[in-house]
Amino acid sequence: MTDTLSPATTGATGRRAPSAGNLLPIIGVVVAAVAVVLPILVDDFAFNYLMSYTVITCILALTMHLLMGLAGVFSLGQAAMFGAGAYAAVVIIGQTGIDGTLGLFLVAAVGAVIGILMGLVTLRTTDLYLALTTLAFGYIVENLVRNSDWLGGPQGITGFDITFAGSYLDEPKLLYWVGLGFLYLLIVIIMSVRRSKVGRALMATRESPIAARSIGIDTRRYKLLAFGVAGAFAAVAGGLYTAYALVVDPSVFGIDLTLSVLAIAIVGGLRSMPGIIVVAIVLTYFRNSAETFGASQYVLLIYGLLIVLTLRFLPQGLGGLLTSPRVLAATRSIRARFHGGTQ
């Protein structure tokens, strides 16, 4: 995927595509490979579960990246998609007994439908109204579930087994690897989309819908596409969560989850996949071990503070630093000095 086009670059004027970014793909591949063997290196039952949970969080956070960062749709409906996926997984895989290899894709389909519905309902709204409408979606689905006896009502469902390729996903390593597989699939899709026609269409839809339409981009279609893909993966994250939590109850629709993922996405940078992944890992670990840092009663305050500080000082999030002109200039000068010194 190298950029074969090499236009004559003139002096270092203005903000340009980051040259320091050339290292990123290599780092990315190495990190991805290490992530695969990690549970073998760190063989601890509970820690492996924590890793699975982190992967689930990463998937969910990246669906926000897709919707908010790429499509510019300020949706807070993640909980509806995630929760629907959780219940779908329990019904499809846990109760009906369809194996996860097929079942998780059915779960994804359910999520995609919920996502597209959410998209259809909110097509004409933007910003705050869209956020509130998508948020309301979570409440609606939660209410439906609470009042459905066959879904366990307010108590939820327990005592099911999520399987994948015939094995129970209550083995944390397996759960982690399955989650990682879906995470990598999502990463590949997002990276491909960003470099292709669809990514430009999403960009255009986000930056100026009027202009997008004037060059033949059906903005509604691309918004729905983003909702569909985000819904599918958020639902898979929800499905995997049931294998992690061993139960499913209406709390999967809670706003806490949406807000903590929103915090991750904002701090990491809505537009930056690496930023979001790094922050998802760090914050999930931090939250889980907050006790050891003596910070558990401040966790949510810290989240809030991080959001406010990020919006104030790093509107592009941590990921924005990767492409910030100042940081690029600094790395260039360091590199120049380094080369100068060795020659």
**Contact status: 166 vs other proteins (CB under 8 A):** no
**Contact status: 240 vs other proteins (CB under 8 A):** no
User: Which tokens belong to 254?
Assistant: 């809670």
| Interface region with other proteins, contact rule CB under 8 A, candidates 117-125, 137-145, 173-181, 242-250 | 242-250
Give the footprint of other proteins on residues 97-156 (CB under 8 A): 127-128, 131, 146, 153-156
Look-up of token digits 């990767």: 322
Give the three-state DSSP class for 167.
strand
Among the listed residues 22, 95, 143, 192, the single contact to other proteins using CB under 8 A:
192
Q: Which is nearer to other proteins, 298 or 338 (CB)?
A: 298
Q: Which is nearer to other proteins, 109 or 307 (CB)?
A: 307
Site string for other proteins, 58-97 (x = CB under 8 A): --------------x-x-x---------------------
**Contact status: 247 vs other proteins (CB under 8 A):** yes
Give, in degrees to the nearest 5, the angle at Cα 261 between 267 and 273.
Answer: 55
Q: Which is nearer to other proteins, 292 or 343 (CB)?
A: 292
Q: Which is nearer to other proteins, 7 or 341 (CB)?
A: 7
Q: 195 CB contacts (<8 Å, ≥6 apart)?
A: 1
Q: Which is nearer to other proteins, 109 or 191 (CB)?
A: 191
Q: Which helix (H) or strand (E) holds 80?
A: helix 78-89
CA-based nearest residue to 229, from 136, 111, 138, 107: 111
Give the footprint of other proteins on residues 324-343 (CB under 8 A): none
In angstroms, what is the minimal distance from the CB of 107 to other proteins? Answer: 19
What's the CA gap between 32 and 184, in Å, rounded? 8
Q: Do the Cβ atoms of 280 and 233 come closer than 8 Å?
A: no
Q: 296 CB contacts (<8 Å, ≥6 apart)?
A: 290
Give the footprint of other proteins on residues 22-51 (CB under 8 A): 44-47, 49-50
**CA-based diameter of the chain, in Å?**
75
**Contact status: 182 vs other proteins (CB under 8 A):** no
What's the CA gap between 304 and 31, in Å, rounded? 29
Give the three-state DSSP class for 123.
coil
Sign of CA dihedral 189, 194, 196, 199: positive
In angstroms, what is the minimal distance from the CB of 119 to other proteins? Answer: 17
| Interface region with other proteins, contact rule CB under 8 A, candidates 24-32, 80-88, 90-98, 282-290 | 282-290
